[in-house]
Amino acid sequence: MIQFERTPDDTRQAILEAAFEEIYEHGFQAASLSRILERVDVTKGALYHHFKSKKELGYAVVDEVVGNWVTEKWQFDADSPDPISSIRRTIEGALERASERTCHCGCPLNNLAQEMSPIDEGFRERINSVFRLWRTKFEDAFRAGQAAGTVRPDVDVEKLAAFLVASFEGIVGLGKSEQSLEFVSSTLDVMLDYLETLRPQPAVV
Amino acid sequence: MIQFERTPDDTRQAILEAAFEEIYEHGFQAASLSRILERVDVTKGALYHHFKSKKELGYAVVDEVVGNWVTEKWQFDADSPDPISSIRRTIEGALERASERTCHCGCPLNNLAQEMSPIDEGFRERINSVFRLWRTKFEDAFRAGQAAGTVRPDVDVEKLAAFLVASFEGIVGLGKSEQSLEFVSSTLDVMLDYLETLRPQPAVV
DNA sequence: TGACGTGCATACCGGTCGGTATGTACACTC
DNA sequence: GAGTGTACATACCGACCGGTATGCACGTCA
């Protein structure tokens, strides 16, 4: 049960968080408003006072919860001279903090993307902007690496960023099916090994 | 409307295919039995004669439709001496045959995996066996390549196969969000470029 | 030819869904 | 202190859901 001060803003925020949890566990379409209301102990009147429909609630969850979730999780220093090492550290840190539930339920952003992108254009646009933001962070980091000489200058950073995000989501997604953190970890190793090949090669003697 | 001979086996098969379409477009939980019945023009009595519940129908769709779908799509010659080229050709062929809908709806197997793996163990097991079959095909192909000298012997084929399947699904999944076949194609290029680096290097003089 | 199992079709069920109409306690304004 | 808007709570709605009970045509076999 989510506890919160009974102020309007806190009520809205508490509903958002409860909705995020419910959607994370059941998907958006199977998410039940009444279960959300149980989680946060408010009534339907409160929910429909703050959100005009289930869909608008879903949109707000993407914009205000899932977006921040991703942004915070991937805030390696974009100006780092060595983005490849930064990314490695970020991923290793995420793996350490990963819970049973993370492995079980996967990435909330990707879950919503797979379920809702084909069905609803509003969801697709919102989800895609989060993906684009994420990719941009990678791009900036790699460009900084190229400037610092830790990443090969011939690397197409945009395509690489897209590939990295896709691979990461794919690995986490396959991990949901395998239900194994060790599987996720060792498959991510392949990705990180690939990243290492993007460093400038020492001159051949 | 699906047409079929009104024999018991054909009825069952027609229901399966209609269910596959419905699930592909809406997901399993949001798939509606009545819409499935409309697609195939049979009644609920017929459906519940052949399948004992919605869940059992879903299981059958995974086992008998989605499984074959993946198997047929990825049947590059496992004994080929050059699996990297085989995989490239398979992917390029798939891209040419890819429709608007494929880009829009993504991979039916991955869709089900992301939606149902965390929720239902029966789905997870069935989906995971299809993934494992797919990975095994990659593994066999790479081993054949190692034997033929077209793939570096130090490559861990199991981890590589897992990474490839994950990356492919991730790319297709991101493509759903971008709604762009060109995006899918160019991101797959990064993956294929990576594969090329797994060929034995010519000896350094 | 009658009994019986198969392969459906029809009609109906309780439950849950998202959504809404109405009421009300309270703060704030004039 | 009367009026008004905010922030909910309560009660209810029709639609649709998955599932079931019943009926019946038809082929098979005793």
CA A161 to C1' D17 (Å) is 43
Q: What percent of chain A has pLDDT above 90?
A: 87
- Asked whether residue B37 carries a pLDDT value surpassing 70, the answer given is yes
Structure tokens at A116: 């809702």
- Does residue A81 belong to the interface with chain B, where contact is any CB pair within 8 Å? no
Q: Is A114 in Cβ contact with B104 (below 8 Å)?
A: no
pLDDT of residue A78: 64
Q: Is A187 in Cβ contact with B171 (below 8 Å)?
A: no
pLDDT of residue A4: 83
Chain A and chain B share a number of CB contacts under 8 A equal to: 145
User: What are the chain B neighbours of A117 within 8 Å (beta carbons)?
Assistant: 176-177, 179
pLDDT of residue B146: 96
What does pTM read for this prediction?
0.94
pLDDT of residue A203: 60
**Rounded (5°) CA angle A151-A152-A153:** 110
Type and span of the H or E element at B21: helix B8-26
Q: Return the percent helix, strand and coil in chain B, to nearest 5.
A: 75, 0, 25
Q: What percent of chain B has pLDDT above 90?
A: 87
Residue range B95-118: average pLDDT? 96
Residue range B93-118: average pLDDT? 95
Instruction: Write the residue in B25, B176, B189 that is nearest to A117 by C-beta.
Output: B176
pLDDT of residue B129: 96
A24 or A9, higher pLDDT = A24
- The nucleotide lying nearest A48 (C-alpha to C1') is C19
3-state secondary structure of B119: coil
Residue range B37-50: average pLDDT? 96
Confidence of residue B12 (pLDDT cuts 50, 70, 90): very high
- Strand D contact nucleotides, protein CB < 7 Å: 6-12, 16-23
Residue range A139-167: average pLDDT? 97
B3 or A145, higher pLDDT = A145
Q: How far apart are CA A70 and CA A82, in angstroms?
A: 21
- Asked whether residue A9 carries a pLDDT value surpassing 90, the answer given is no
pLDDT of residue A177: 98
pLDDT of residue B78: 64
Nearest to B177 by CA among A62, A33, A192, A94: A62
The pLDDT tens digits for B125-161 are 999 999 999 999 999 999 999 999 999 999 999 999 9
Q: How far apart are CA A165 and CA B47, in angstroms?
A: 41
Which stretch of A35-49, B35-49, B70-84 has the lowest confidence by average pLDDT?
B70-84
A196 or A2, higher pLDDT = A196
pLDDT of residue B1: 75
Residue range A163-175: average pLDDT? 98
CA B49 to C1' C2 (Å) is 26
- The nucleotide lying nearest B33 (C-alpha to C1') is D18
Q: What percent of chain A has pLDDT above 70?
A: 98
- Asked whether residue B202 carries a pLDDT value surpassing 90, the answer given is no
Instruction: Indicate the average pLDDT of chain A.
Output: 94
Instruction: Write the residue in B118, B162, B177 that is nearest to A176 by C-beta.
Output: B118
Q: Alpha helices, DSSP H only, in chain A? A: 8-26, 33-40, 44-50, 54-61, 67-73, 83-97, 100-105, 108-116, 121-148, 157-178, 181-196
pLDDT of residue B205: 52
Nearest to B172 by CA among A167, A24, A101: A167
Which stretch of A8-12, A154-158, B25-29, B186-190 has the lowest confidence by average pLDDT?
A8-12
Instruction: Write the residue in A110, A163, A179 that is nearest to B173 by C-beta.
Output: A110
CA B113 to C1' C16 (Å) is 26
Q: Which of residues 26-65 of B touch A (CB under 8 A)?
A: 26-27, 29-30
Confidence of residue B75 (pLDDT cuts 50, 70, 90): confident
Residue range A20-33: average pLDDT? 98
pLDDT of residue B84: 96
Q: Which of residues 154-193 of A touch B (CB under 8 A)?
A: 156, 159-160, 162-163, 165-171, 173-174, 176-179, 183, 186-187, 189-191
The residue to which tokens 């209609």 are assigned: B18
Question: How close is the nearest chain A Cα to the Cα of B31, in Å?
Answer: 10
